[in-house]
A and B are shown apart, each in its own frame.
Chain A
Amino acid sequence: MLLIFLQHLVSLTPITIVQGDIEHFGNFDMVHAVHAVNGDEVANIWNKDKSKNCKIIVTSWDYKEMKSHGFKRVKNDAVIVHPQFPRVTDGSKCHPAYIYRSTDYRKDRAKYMSELLPELTVDDISKPFKKVFTMFKEGEVAEKTTLSNGYPINDALLERNCM
């Protein structure tokens, strides 16, 4: 009996897969969260101090719904993408999208992510984007070429994408 029990214990192998959760939106200027499933969770991340640098959020909720989800520092002057422009996101239905601006936009107007990039340290970056951002930063600072029309090409990123 004991032997069987031990065997059973060995066979039970609990595997934990921890997915990379986003700590803050501080790495980005804009978040496109149309039809996001966890509205409350997105609101929690948006309300954190570190995600103050994020200027714009695009959602499928009007101002009342945003408040009910718990969004703070969001201005009540949303630009609405009208349903006459077909935004087919849920089956065959068309929904409007609301573009909100943060209240701190005017204060931190100069701080765009592209300007903050050379000063970025690994600790500032949110967990799932650490690898991507460090590689992008290295390519952006060192191996950048520009076309005649002014378009910058990150060679390291391009090589990685073409693999």
Chain B
Amino acid sequence: MNPFKVAEEILSEEAINELQNIEQQMKNGDEKRARAKETVPYLNSAEKKKKKAENDMRCKMYRKTKSEEKKAADRANDRARKAKRKAELKNSNPEEHRRKMDEANHRKLLNRVYNKFSKAHNLAYPSDNVPDKQHDKPTYKVGGTFQRNQIYVPPRITNLRQHLHDILDASGKDNEGHFAEVTQSSLIYMELGVFCLLSRDVRCRKLYTLDLGPGMLMPSLVFSQYLFEHGFHVGIDSQQNRVTLSKQNLRNYSLKGKANIQNGLFEDKTKGELTNVLPPRVDCVPGDSVSVCVFVCLCQCY
């Protein structure tokens, strides 16, 4: 049953015309869609890649063939367009403008810092060739967003906790309660900060460090494996049980390093630089920053 034939009896002529127009438009739309399907064929992923590569090549050629005057004019145009957009936003919504500017500045600052750190890493380990520019770095996914900022953490430090004996707190949890430890990545960030603060002096790799309250001896072990590895690192703790635990960790780690040397993993200069564990130049001592006198009175009543 055609609805338009029914509507002819009820509606006026103008309304019927409007309805007919709508029907015609719908038909045209279907035709357009059908024509589009015919003209644009379905592409496989390989075909898509090929087409993209061709397009990129064309763009590159266009960029190459462009004269420098034209490039400069384009850049000036872009700059003017951005400035105009910024000014419009600043006038219409100053709070949003301020927020966006802060975000952009923070991103720039972080980029600068990360580039500085990757340069510091390359100074210490020239064979690694960590990319020191932002657009050369590989991306990684964090919660659905792609990020590029990261510090290079060597594998022998990411696997550090495998060889350590953890202490469990009263509730039977590890690394959450009172015995929480500093993470490896933050320690590396700190090391790179020190390296940059002392104007990237190569002698920083021979630093002698002291750790007041080392816990599981994590900081000293990280120092001994990365950047300050040629130096000597001492941890000092007032509790004897902590000292024995850290001594045990140190023993496990140095045994692993000794085994690596005996297996000949460091013979090749390029490989085995940052992948395998080295015997740490670390020691742990009982003691405190304050002199403590304890009087133990053994009272016996007769």
Contact: A152 with B230, CB < 8 Å? yes
Q: Does B154 contact A (CB under 8 A)?
A: no
Interface, chain B (partner A; CB < 8 A): 175-178, 180-183, 185-186, 189-190, 193-194, 196-198, 203, 206-213, 219, 229-232, 234, 236, 238, 250-251, 254-255, 257-258, 261, 266-269, 272-273, 278-283, 285-300, 302
Q: Does A2 contact B (CB under 8 A)?
A: no
Contact: B297 with A14, CB < 8 Å? yes
Contact: B289 with A129, CB < 8 Å? no
Main secondary structure of the interface of A (DSSP, over half): mixed
Q: Can you report 10 A-B residue pairs in the complex whose CB atoms are below 8 A from each other?
A: A15-B294, A19-B287, A30-B207, A30-B210, A38-B290, A81-B186, A86-B183, A91-B177, A132-B285, A148-B267
Nearest chain A CB to B228 CB, angstrom units = 8
Contact: B186 with A163, CB < 8 Å? no
- Chain A: number of interface residues, binned into ranges: 35 or more
A36 and B283 contact, Cβ closer than 8 Å, known pairs A19-B238, A41-B289, A99-B194? no
B250: A residues at CB distance < 8 A: 161
Docked pose: A3 CA to B299 CA in angstroms: 16
Docked pose: A93 CA to B135 CA in angstroms: 33
Nearest chain A CB to B95 CB, angstrom units = 24
Nearest chain B CB to A6 CB, angstrom units = 11
Contact: A92 with B198, CB < 8 Å? no
B206: A residues at CB distance < 8 A: 112-114
Contact: B208 with A151, CB < 8 Å? no
B298: A residues at CB distance < 8 A: 11-13
Provide the A54-89 mask, 1 if CB < 8 A to any CB of B, else 0: 011010000000000000000000010100011111
A158 and B279 contact, Cβ closer than 8 Å, known pairs A14-B296, A148-B267? yes
Nearest chain A CB to B226 CB, angstrom units = 12
